[in-house]
Amino acid sequence: MLELLETWDGESVSIHRDRETGTWMFICVHSTALGSAAGGTRMKHYDRPADALADGMRLSEAMSLKLASVDFPHGGGKAVIALPSTEIPQGDARRRLLHEYGRFINSLGGLYSCAPDMNTSAADMDMIAEVTPYVFCKTEAAGGAGDTAPDTAVGVLHGIRASCRYAFGSDDLSQRSVLVQGAGGVGGRLIELLLEADTKVIATDIDPARLANMRDKGIVVVAPDRALTTPCDVLAPCATGGIINARTIPNLQCRVIAGGANNQLETPADADALRGRGIAYAPDFVINAGGVLHGGGLEEQHWTHEVLESKLAGIGDVIFEIFQRAEREGISTDAAARRIALARMGKATPVSTP
């Protein structure tokens, strides 16, 4: 872990260990250039605490870029609750652990505010809020904005339209085929929105029940291992990260990559490889920013739903601006998006660039 801390370009890492369960907790604050840090809380098992720390660092940098890209007044942070086993705690054990985590957040005095992420929910935010005020996206019953996934999907839809406008000269999705990889909260809602736009949808998921349900609805489905090699106009990754890499890029059969998953590229160099193949890539930390606009906009900025809708539509404008800048400067879209974000941060944080 020491080597990770020595080489990271973020601002701070706070570490706590729950003695009762042996759970490690990491809060990684990448930047406070635009305000106190905010970001999701990921709960999962890692083989080593160092792996959890590396995940938190990587994700917190993405949050800095995401928030700056959509000009939202917070810096980037991320928290990881690294469980000692693959078993996800439930009931009283979960409440106790989340209260422990909430007290950990409280000890930072507002440096970081949490929100849901992998294996945490709006209901979990309600429990955390019982011990700390530094929480976004509680349930609507508790006075929060509720589930961020639907508006994340709306932002992705606007990003797909902008990507198609750039790649095909039209944002009419009725002329396009879109393969959605992952039909969970974001991917499932994105599929619904695409069907409403009369898009030819192809879907996949690692959950056989989800696949069967989509097939029963008349949606074309493919096996998970064919997701990256099935011909389509747009590939929309909405599951795990790191799937776009040196091993998969040569076999891609799409013209556009635009989806809701975090950290879709395994390395920044993969964006250059996509550019070399003529595949238009919508940077994930921009296109999936609808969730932070939903939570922070409604709860902290007190936006009306009309204002929120306009902000979500603005994600498409930012994506198109990134494509134009990348073409104009002869760089990858990932590099262009990072430059735009850094400019908005006043270059106060040395985010790595390809």
Active site residues: 78
Distance (Å) of CA 72 to CA 21, 45, 111, 272, 297: 36, 31, 16, 28, 9
Cα angle, residue 183 at apex, residues 180 and 184 outer, rounded to 5°: 140
Cα 75 from Cα 64, distance rounded (Å): 5
Run of H or E including 12? strand 12-18
**C-alpha 4 chain-centroid distance:** 22
Evaluated on CA atoms 323, 327, 331, 332, the torsion sign reads positive
**CB contact at 8 A, 201 and 178:** yes
Helix count (H) and strand count (E) of the chain?
A: 12, 11
Q: Tokens standing for 277?
A: 């193949």
Residue type, 4: L
Distance (Å) of CA 295 to CA 82, 146, 219, 318: 24, 8, 31, 19
